[in-house]
């Protein structure tokens, strides 16, 4: 297994068999709402590489691009597990917080900086996008 993870209560578990196609920090308004006012930090994997055990609940929102974004979370403890866009069903956007510590990943891009509050600390050493960048391409 390349990566493993679990929610805070342990009833949802993740096993991921491949490397992410991208790792991004997102400051969009909806991410701030699920991340207590901060950004979400996400590793984007090929969906087929992500195995999940346990029961998830989900909610949806409409993204600015017109796609439906579904966000999946543990119904017992509320931990956000992953998001998936109707326009990119081959990818799963796994929340860093659902991965076991020491996963070694870090955001390589910051997106939706237009929505970030004035106090946000945006890493100047990584690529940043004021809004949504192009989707990462599928791999292998
Ligand atoms: Zn849980
Ligand atoms: Zn976002």
Q: What is the pLDDT of residues 77-134, one digit of tens each?
A: 999 999 999 999 999 999 999 999 999 999 999 999 999 999 999 999 999 999 988 7
Q: What is the pLDDT of residues 19-50, one digit of tens each?
A: 999 999 999 999 999 999 999 999 999 999 99
Instruction: For residue 132, report the distance from its CA to the centre of ligand 2, in Å.
Output: 9
Q: Which residues pair with 3 in a beta bridge?
A: 16
Sign of the C-alpha dihedral computed for residues 116, 60, 79 and 106 taken in this order: negative
Starting from the CA of residue 111, give the closest ligand.
Answer: 2
In angstroms, the Cα distances linking 120 to 24, 27, 32, 51 are 15, 9, 11, 33
Domain ranges of the chain: 3-128
Neighbours of ion ligand 1 (CB under 5 A): 7, 9, 11, 74, 76-77
Starting from the CA of residue 132, give the closest ligand.
Answer: 2
Starting from the CA of residue 52, give the closest ligand.
Answer: 1
CATH entry, 3-128, from 3.20.20.140, 3.40.1180.10, 2.170.150.70, 3.40.50.1000: 2.170.150.70
So what's the pLDDT on residue 66?
A: 85
Query: Whose CA is closest to 4, among 15, 12, 13?
Result: 15
Instruction: For residue 4, report the distance from its CA to the centre of ligand 1, in Å.
Output: 15
Q: If DSSP codes are grouped into helix, strand and coil, which group holds residue 47?
A: helix
Residue 140 scores a pLDDT above 60: no
Instruction: For residue 11, report the distance from its CA to the centre of ligand 2, in Å.
Output: 25
Contact status, residue 122 vs residue 128, Cβ threshold 8 Å: yes
So what's the pLDDT on residue 64?
A: 73
Instruction: For residue 129, report the distance from its CA to the centre of ligand 2, in Å.
Output: 12
Stronger pLDDT, 1 or 4, i.e. the higher one: 4
Query: Whose CA is closest to 81, among 2, 16, 1?
Result: 16
So what's the pLDDT on residue 1?
A: 74
**Whether pTM exceeds 0.85:** yes
119: left (phi over 0), alpha (psi -120 to 50) or beta: alpha
Instruction: For residue 42, report the distance from its CA to the centre of ligand 2, in Å.
Output: 9
Instruction: For residue 98, report the distance from its CA to the centre of ligand 1, in Å.
Output: 10
């Amino acid at each position: 297994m390349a990566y493993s993870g679990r929610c805070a209560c342990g009833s949802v578990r993740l096993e991921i068999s491949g490397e992410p196609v991208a790792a991004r920090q997102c400051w969009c308004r909806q991410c701030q709402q699920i991340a207590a006012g901060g950004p979400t930090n996400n590793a984007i994997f090929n969906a087929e590489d992500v195995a999940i055990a346990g029961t998830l609940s989900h909610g949806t929102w409409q993204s600015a691009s017109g796609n439906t974004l579904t966000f999946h979370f543990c119904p017992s403890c509320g931990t956000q597990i992953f998001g998936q866009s109707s326009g990119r069903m081959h990818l799963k956007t796994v929340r860093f917080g659902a991965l076991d510590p020491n996963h070694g990943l870090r955001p390589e891009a910051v997106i939706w900086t237009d929505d970030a509050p004035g106090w946000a600390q945006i890493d100047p050493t990584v690529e940043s996008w004021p809004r949504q960048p192009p989707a990462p391409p599928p791999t292998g």
